[in-house]
Amino acid sequence: MNWQELNELDFENIGQWPKPARIAVVAVACVLLAGFCGQFLIRASLERLDRAQAEETHLKGIFEAKSYQASLLPDYEQQLLTLKQQLENELRKLPSQLEIAGLLDDISYIATDNGLRIERINWESEQPGEFSTELPMRIIVSGDYHQLGRFVADVAALPRIVILDSFSLSSKGNEQLSMSMLAKTYKYNERGG
């Protein structure tokens, strides 16, 4: 076919065209149809594929993080066991209800053993908290500087937790001092009770 034959082709009568021209039109129509389908159908599939690949990458990251955490589970369990043992050891240092009265006796004994004169020692009102109840004790003793220092050191060395707080010192003359303090201990609040 030449250009003149192409110009003479009648678009209203495509069935009468020569075979090569019909094949060319069908091929062009197929290419246009394929391009149209590719634009609308395949592009949507490619976008879904991209989203699925991004989701796969995200899920792989989550899986790797959880896998790493799972690999550390035995270490975490051991650490939890250690922390539970430490908590139990610390709770044992808190006086039980029976030992609270004995604590008052221990502090009185320490004061007299260090040569101090006890002016006042008594329990004050309890201060309940979420996990424990604070049991404050007002202590007023008098003696010389070294006796007071040994007394504080001996109270701090008690096997039960005793916190000495709110110190005040005043002179009584003749190198005698009066010391007022608040000694605090705690009792564990049992859960569910």
Q: Read off the pLDDT of each residue in 86-106 and give the average, rounded to a whole number.
A: 76
* 134 contact partners, CB below 8 Å, separation of at least 6: 126, 127, 128, 184, 185, 186
> Are residues 103 and 182 located together in one domain of the fold?
yes
> Is the domain of 55 the same as that of 141?
no
pLDDT of residue 5: 64
Three-class SS of residue 187?
Answer: strand
Is 14 part of any domain?
Answer: yes
* Shared-domain flag, residues 15 and 52: yes
Mean local confidence (pLDDT), 123-151: 88
Neighbouring C-alpha atoms within 13 Å toward the C-beta of 139 = 33
> Is the overall model pTM greater than 0.75, yes or no?
no
φ, ψ of residue 164 in degrees (nearest 5): -95, 130
Q: 119 lies in a domain?
A: yes
Write out the residue range of the structural domain in which residue 113 sits: 94-188
* Whether 176 and 131 share a structural domain: yes
Number of neighbours of residue 178 by Cβ within 10 angstroms: 16
Query: Other CB atoms closer than 10 Å to residue 106's CB: what's the count?
Result: 18
Percentage with pLDDT > 90 across the chain: 36
Q: Is the pLDDT of residue 193 over 80?
A: no
Same domain, 50 and 118: no
Return the CATH number at 178: 3.30.70.60
Are 25 and 59 part of one and the same domain? yes
CA distances 155 to 114, 115, 121, 165, 186, Å, are: 11, 14, 14, 12, 15
pLDDT in tens, 173-182: 788 899 999 9
108 and 179 share one domain: yes
Scanning the structure block, which residue is given the tokens 């989203």? 51
pLDDT for 191 equals: 61
In a domain, 86, yes or no: no
Same domain, 62 and 143: no
What tokens were used for 129? 């908290």
Domain tally, the chain:
2
Note the residue count of the chain.
Answer: 193
Can you tell me the distance from the alpha carbon of 54 to that of 57, in angstroms, rounded to the nearest whole number? 5
**pLDDT tens for each residue of 58-76:** 999 999 999 999 999 999 9
- In terms of pLDDT, which residue wins out, 92 or 108? 108
